[in-house]
Amino acid sequence: MKNLILILIAVMSVSSFAGVKIGVINMQKVLGTIKAGKAVKATLDKSVKAKQKQLKKEEGELKKLQSSIQKQSSLLSKKALAKKENELRTRYIALQKKSVDFEKQIRKQEAELKKPIIKNLNPIIDSVSKSKNVDITFDLLSAPIFYAKEKINITKDVIKAYDKKHK
């Protein structure tokens, strides 16, 4: 991202590039709007719900265990109570680790599902940029452009072109 910003600054500061047309695209909007992107979102939502269901089940089990320990605390010896509390702590830490692992799995799955879409998007972005006579195109979220004398948003055109080509 820093490299893109440095390139932009260099391009903007060189007087011979005074007439440069800058194209901008909101890739998040593109991926959320095109049919293939919606399919990815649906797949990810299904995965997230399944993992959340599993985590909630385990969380419920931990709450039951905690409640049981609290009820038995006056009846158990200190050693037995400490053992049960340690078990609870260990299971809670394992649940937190599982939650983090699930998040990593979802991010990896998202990247894998989006990879072919982005591969298909690149030539379309090139084509739309050329048809709009744009010299350079930036993703608004990766390399925000705060000011450009002439910038053209090609997001909607890319969405239309992608859906037309990949029905």
pLDDT (tens digit per residue) in 100-130:
999 999 999 999 999 999 999 999 999 999 9
Q: Is position 4 within any domain?
A: no
- The pLDDT value recorded for residue 15 is 44
Q: Is position 155 within any domain?
A: yes
Structural domain boundaries enclosing 124: 19-165
Q: Is position 2 within any domain?
A: no
Q: Is position 120 within any domain?
A: yes
pLDDT band at 80 (very low <50, low <70, confident <90, very high): confident
State pTM to two decimals: 0.73
Q: Is position 69 within any domain?
A: yes
Tokens of 126: 């090139």
Please give the single-letter amino acid code of residue 123.
P
Report how far residue 143's alpha carbon sits from residue 21's, in angstroms, rounded to the nearest whole number.
Answer: 16
Please check the confidence at residue 17 and state whether its pLDDT lies above 60.
no
- Contact in structure between 138 and 25 (CB atoms under 8 Å): yes
- The pLDDT value recorded for residue 127 is 95
Cα-based angle 103, 53, 39 (whole degrees, multiple of 5):
65
Domain tally, the chain: 1
Please check the confidence at residue 146 and state whether its pLDDT lies above 60.
yes
CATH code, domain with 51: 3.30.910.20
- Region 57-74: mean pLDDT is 91
Report how far residue 37's alpha carbon sits from residue 39's, in angstroms, rounded to the nearest whole number.
Answer: 5
